[in-house]
Structure 1
């Protein structure tokens, strides 16, 4: 066995050891759907904060999850699943009537997510903002053209204007919107704001991250 093969085996051992616990498997299942703060995981799992910190540290040390600071409330951090080889055991969701993507201004991330969803799924989709701006970001429209996405140049809308129903799935793609909506945000994807950076690379990175997450969520919401 060469050194490279030994390293691969060692990593597999660390991964399997980290997952050899029911609570850590449940954490992986939750993060497979969306990102979450430690307090949200504690509430969802019913696990004391000190014990949860131990489990999160084990998963992080194995390279399975990572955390980053919120773009909204800087005192908060979000955990995300990063290991492609981890297969969640039970992450399926009830099929909603509609998927509603929400960011703050409804100028980029929520529109791009909706465009990617239209390309990947037959489930109805809408996008909205908690504080909509006057127009879609030019960079978002340009990114949609580069990636062959159907993104019409429409006016941003407030979340209330799309009339979210109890059987809709609200997915926040912005930390500020997630923190403002609280429990109304059923799934959260912590995607960096490309408008704040303004570069082509930032918008393309947002499309790539949203595309990856849409591709993962679609099979969890089977159509009738």
Structure 2
């Protein structure tokens, strides 16, 4: 049975609210390692039993913790992390796309790297384009791609109006392109232009920035 998106969102809000307290966050950290009795948690945290009871009730109410009786001493109980307790805390799938289109001004570095990186982590097709494409891909982009096992050498910059299609989820990776395309649906990543400095370090920094952002976006996308 599919979960109602509103209910799932409310459950995530409740979990975040419960974890906003430092003591409850510490309790959950401990429960990721194993089960604890209330007495053990009290000793670990150095707090009075009535306050600990309040925190545990809050965690149980938010679906983060459960308790069960000891098989050895039925007067004793253990607190454990609830099954799937931490599921859904990260943003969930929010967008559908037939293709992800990465756009920068010259389509010679950032957007090319982004499209190549996307193909490594998602089954959704990717493409890249430029608002004012260059004649060729920047050598620095080809070099950093090669160092990370990607091939850009056989690709060519292309114009946005020649590439864009219905169903594209557009990601601008260049401030100039984003500001030129005001009103275009999609998201923007403000990635510094490595060609401004044109050093190996600048291209590595751009590659790392784009890679982290793609790893964050890909799990939130589904094929439309």
Q: TM-score range by the shorter chain?
A: 0.5 to 0.7
What is the distance in 2 between the residues matched to 1:132 and 1:88?
A: 40
Provide the residue aligned with 1:149 in structure 2: 150
For each residue in 1:170-211, what CA deviation from the matched residue of structure 2 results, as whole angstroms up to 9, or x when unmatched? 000000000011121410000000011100000001110000
Provide the residue aligned with 1:175 in structure 2: 175
1:115 and 2:86 aligned = no
Equivalenced residues, count: 142
Provide the residue aligned with 2:129 in structure 1: 128
What is the distance in 2 between the residues matched to 1:122 and 1:172?
A: 20
**Alpha-carbon RMSD:** 2.3
Residues 182, 114 of structure 1: alpha-carbon distance in 2 compared, 3 angstrom cutoff: same
Residues 135, 112 of structure 1: alpha-carbon distance in 2 compared, 3 angstrom cutoff: same
Provide the residue aligned with 1:198 in structure 2: 198
Higher Cα Rg, which structure: 2
Provide the residue aligned with 1:207 in structure 2: 207
Provide the residue aligned with 2:220 in structure 1: 220
**Which 4+ stretches in 1 moved above 6 angstroms?**
none
What is the distance in 1 between the residues matched to 2:147 and 2:214?
A: 18
Unaligned 5+ segments in structure 2 are 1-15, 22-87
Where 2:222 maps in the other structure, the secondary structure is: coil
Unaligned 5+ segments in structure 1 are 1-14, 21-86
CA shift for structure 1 position 88 = 6.5
CA shift for structure 1 position 90 = 4.7
Where 2:95 maps in the other structure, the secondary structure is: coil
For each residue in 1:98-128, what CA deviation from the matched residue of structure 2 results, as whole angstroms up to 9, or x when unmatched? 0000000000000000010011111100000
